[in-house]
Amino acid sequence: MRDAIRPETPYNHRMEGWIRIGDVQVDIERLRALAHTCDPMKCRYTKCCCRSYEVTVDKLEIDRVAGTVPDAAKLAPTLIEDGELIDPIDETEGGYCLNTDEEGECVFAYRTEDGAIRCSMHSLALQWNLPPEDVKPKSCTLWPLAIHGKNPAQLSVQDDAYDFPCNTPIEKCTPRLHRGVAEIVEAIFGRPFLDELQAALPQTPE
């Protein structure tokens, strides 16, 4: 069974090096040590997030995701079976997740002429002049970050993040989050949350 990207799962890492912003505990040391740059060309022959996880969706996201299928199918042929649009949602014991093809790749994934792997929901969002986070499931937008637990929720980094070519460690700590990480935080939590998180980082490299 593939790993799952789930917004709420048990998490037991040590709490040193965390800060609290509102109702979220942030693993500030792991976030500041991550550089993330999405490059679909790197996914052609290596591990890719589109075929590595069982991507969960909540009940509020199901209709939104399903509503993209007619347009997404123009890009992603796996959304069509025997001439008909498929149901992109699979119900599991733990809830709901995006369907995958026989090779375990998300049915919304597609390849461009140069072989890059892209998300059809992300591509549609750009065509519609919408932020991708308004179209894609939260768990997809959040990756390679992860939210675990609740009361408070804990924001950290997916345990296997560095297995993917788009994620690299920052050996020397910097006073700002990497741009790719900062963009994810802002998309999920908003600009004020990001500003408070950035302000909590040391202003000079250690």
pLDDT digits (tens, 9 = 90+) for 13-39: 446 678 999 999 999 999 999 999 998
The mean pLDDT value for 60-79 works out to 95
pLDDT higher than threshold 80 for residue 47 = yes
| Amino acid at the residue 174 | T
Look at residue 204 in the predicted model and tell me its pLDDT.
52
- What the block records as the tokens of 62 is 């199901």
Look at residue 89 in the predicted model and tell me its pLDDT.
95
Look at residue 7 in the predicted model and tell me its pLDDT.
45
Q: Which residue from 145, 51, 144, 130 is spatially nearest to 98, judged by alpha carbons?
A: 51
Look at residue 17 in the predicted model and tell me its pLDDT.
75
What is the CB neighbour count within 10 angstroms for residue 117? 19
pLDDT digits (tens, 9 = 90+) for 76-113: 999 999 999 999 999 988 789 999 998 889 999 999 98
pLDDT higher than threshold 90 for residue 198 = yes
